[in-house]
């Protein structure tokens, strides 16, 4: 008889002393993927306050995708540094776009908020996901896929008008 994956997960969590944010079926191996990500060169449009028009400059972009599920309270907090090998020489800069989609045939909604960990040295981002059922109540154990895209600027930030 095969062991119950949920029971195996609970025992592993007791051993490591933390919650394992992974589907029990993924625990067949001693490691599992948490995300995919890439750094790539893209374009950023900069709007000027005092000058007319805008500037379009090349910039490094971080694109991350992952999967998770809501906890007992309908929430899940993800720090990018937990799922990405972030570069020490870059800062994360707004605008930051986060999208989440429930992986379900039943109607669930997933919303999110995000904040830079340190406004003066923003090298990490915390995203809080909220899962809701169709009546507006917090929904536990809702699996969802998510994606985040952010500008990565070299640290320290370049002077105004200089490209990233």
Task: Please check the confidence at residue 98 and state whether its pLDDT lies above 90.
Answer: yes
Beta bridge partners of 113: 128
Task: Please check the confidence at residue 158 and state whether its pLDDT lies above 60.
Answer: no
Report CA Rg, the chain: 19
Q: Is 19 inside any structural domain?
A: yes
Same domain for 74 and 146, yes or no, is yes
Same domain for 76 and 139, yes or no, is yes
List the domain range (segments joined by +) for residue 3: 1-32
pLDDT band at 137 (very low <50, low <70, confident <90, very high): very high
Instruction: Give the model's pLDDT for residue 10.
Output: 82
Same domain for 72 and 23, yes or no, is no
If one counts the domains in the chain, the total is 2
106 vs 24: CA distance, rounded Å: 21
Q: Is 59 inside any structural domain?
A: no
User: 151 and 92 in contact (C-beta within 8 Å)?
Assistant: yes
Percentage of residues in the chain with pLDDT exceeding 90? 49
Same domain for 69 and 136, yes or no, is yes
96 vs 111: CA distance, rounded Å: 15
Tens digits of residue pLDDT in 15-70: 888 887 776 666 666 666 778 899 999 998 888 888 888 888 898 999 999 999 99
Same domain for 25 and 87, yes or no, is no
- Non-local (6+) Cβ contacts of 133 within 8 A are 106, 107, 108, 109, 139
Q: Is 43 inside any structural domain?
A: no
Same domain for 103 and 24, yes or no, is no
User: 129 and 75 in contact (C-beta within 8 Å)?
Assistant: yes
Same domain for 136 and 73, yes or no, is yes
Q: Is 55 inside any structural domain?
A: no
Give the count of beta carbons closer than 10 Å to the beta carbon of residue 49.
5
Instruction: Give the model's pLDDT for residue 1.
Output: 66
């Amino acid at each position: 008889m095969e062991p119950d994956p949920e029971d195996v997960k609970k025992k592993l969590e007791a051993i490591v002393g933390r919650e394992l944010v992974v589907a029990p079926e993924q625990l067949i191996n001693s490691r599992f993927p948490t995300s995919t990500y890439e750094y790539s060169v893209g374009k950023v449009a900069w709007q000027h306050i005092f000058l007319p028009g805008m500037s379009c400059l090349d910039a490094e972009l971080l694109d991350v995708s992952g999967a998770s599920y809501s906890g007992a309270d309908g929430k899940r907090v993800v720090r990018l540094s937990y799922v990405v090998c972030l570069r020490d020489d870059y800062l994360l800069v707004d605008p930051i776009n986060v999208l989440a989609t429930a992986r379900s045939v039943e109607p669930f909604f997933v919303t999110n908020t995000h904040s830079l960990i340190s406004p003066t040295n923003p090298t990490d981002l915390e995203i809080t996901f909220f899962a809701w059922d169709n009546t507006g109540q917090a929904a536990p154990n809702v699996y969802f896929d998510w994606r985040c895209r952010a500008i990565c600027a070299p640290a320290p930030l370049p002077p105004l008008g200089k490209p990233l």
